[in-house]
Chain A
């Protein structure tokens, strides 16, 4: 059984650019949640995907968007990057609707720096 993986590990972008972050969910999991963790803060919920549909969203603007694929992997896209988007982006997968308690398993994160 493989755990949650994320790519890339880190990247540097400039203001106004666009970025795509990737997440592969743990085997058997059908739900992916994305979080933004700024330095010294707790993770903040961006959104969740279940069966390829957005299934809940936090207080993030529309320039944060996502996708989930049939194999349950997911992408987070951020357009028009701003300096405040610099953060660690965490992906978490879980098994919704399978009586397994919806425990989230987190990936190692992608460190995004916006200059």
Chain B
């Protein structure tokens, strides 16, 4: 069985401070990991995936297989980063995507 844990329901940081949204997963095989974001009154959208190794809107995430983590990081938070962030896992070769409960990021001006 696969599971995604986001331990913080709410994370408040000041503008300009570093951000780290935590995500831990449980899966015995080879997973694909994703971060999705939902801004206020907008649709859920893909932010980044681990296989792309990209930086999107200043965010990065590294898959740590030893710690089974995929934390989302940004060195300097901006007010427009305030949103709901979901970590998600899909086993390679399968269709079922498992989402975490989500973390609400609140950037204080």
A interface, CB within 8 angstroms of B: 3-4, 33, 35, 40-45, 48, 55-58, 90, 92, 101, 103-109
Contacts and interface: CB of A to CB of B under 8 A. Distances in A.
Contact of A108 (B43, B49, B88, B96): B43
B85 to A, nearest CB: 10
B11 interface: no
B2 to A, nearest CB: 10
Interface of B is mostly: loop
Given A43-B86, A56-B94, A106 B43 contact: yes
Interface in B56-97: 86, 88, 94-97
Interface of B: 4, 43-46, 49, 52, 86, 88, 94-102
Contacts of B46: 103-104
Nearest to B102: A42
Nearest to B84: A42
Nearest to B86: A42
5 closest A-B pairs by beta carbon, nearest first, are A56-B95, A42-B99, A106-B44, A48-B95, A106-B43
